A and B are shown apart, each in its own frame.
Chain A
Amino acid sequence: MTESNTESALLEVRDLKVHFPVHEGVLIQRQVGSVKAVDGVSFTLQRGETFGLVGESGCGKSTTALAVLKMVNVSGGQIIFEGQDIATLNESAMHPLRKRMQMVYQDPFGSLNPRMKVGDIIGEPLVVHGVSRRSSEYKQRVRQLIDQVGLLPDMAGRYPHEFSGGQRQRIGIARALALNPALLICDEPVSALDVSIQAQVVNLLMDLQRDLNLTVLFIAHDLSVVRHISDRIGVMYLGKIVEIAPRDELFDHPRHPYTRALLDAVPVPNPIIEAGRAQQLIRGEVPSVRNPPAGCHFQPRCPLADSRCREQRPVLTSHGLASVACHNV
Chain B
Amino acid sequence: MTVATSLLPAPAQHGPWVAFTLRLIREKPLGAIGGALFVLFFFCGLFADVISPYGMNETNLLERLQAPSFSHWFGTDHLGRDVLSRVLVGAQLSMLVGFLAAGLATLVSIVLGVASGYFGGKVDMLIQRFVDAWMIFPDLLLLIAVISVVGAGIPQIVIVLGLLYGIAGSRIVRGSVIGVKENMHTHAARSMGARTMHILIRHILPNIMPVVIVLFTTRVGATILTEAGLSFLGLGIPPPAPTWGGMLSGTGRTYMYLGPWLALAPGLCLTIVVYAINVYGDALRDLLDPRMRGSR
Contacts and interface: CB of A to CB of B under 8 A. Distances in A.
Nearest to A115: B206
A98 B192 contact: yes
A89 interface: no
Nearest to A105: B184
Interface residues of A, number: 35
Contact of B184 (A99, A107, A124): A107
Given A111-B184, A116-B206, 15 more contacts: A98-B193, A103-B188, A107-B184, A113-B189, A114-B207, A115-B206, A125-B192, A128-B195, A128-B198, A151-B1, A162-B8, A163-B8, A164-B4, A164-B7, A172-B188
Interface string B7-39: 111000000000000000000000000000000
Contacts, number: 72
Contacts of B295: none
A71 B190 contact: yes
A111 B185 contact: yes
A210 interface: no
A167 B1 contact: yes
B12 to A, nearest CB: 11
Contact of A71 (B1, B187, B198): B187
B202 interface: yes
Contact of B1 (A95, A110, A150): A150
B5 A152 contact: yes
B123 interface: no
Given A124-B202, A128-B198, A162-B8, A113 B185 contact: yes
Given A128-B198, A162-B9, A166-B4, A112 B192 contact: no
A116 B202 contact: yes
A105 B191 CA distance: 11
A71 B191 contact: yes
A179 B193 CA distance: 11
A115 B290 CA distance: 14
Interface string A40-71: 00000000000000000000000000000101
B188 A105 contact: yes
Contacts of A166: 4
Interface in A216-230: none
Contacts of B198: 127-128
Contacts of A115: 206-207, 209
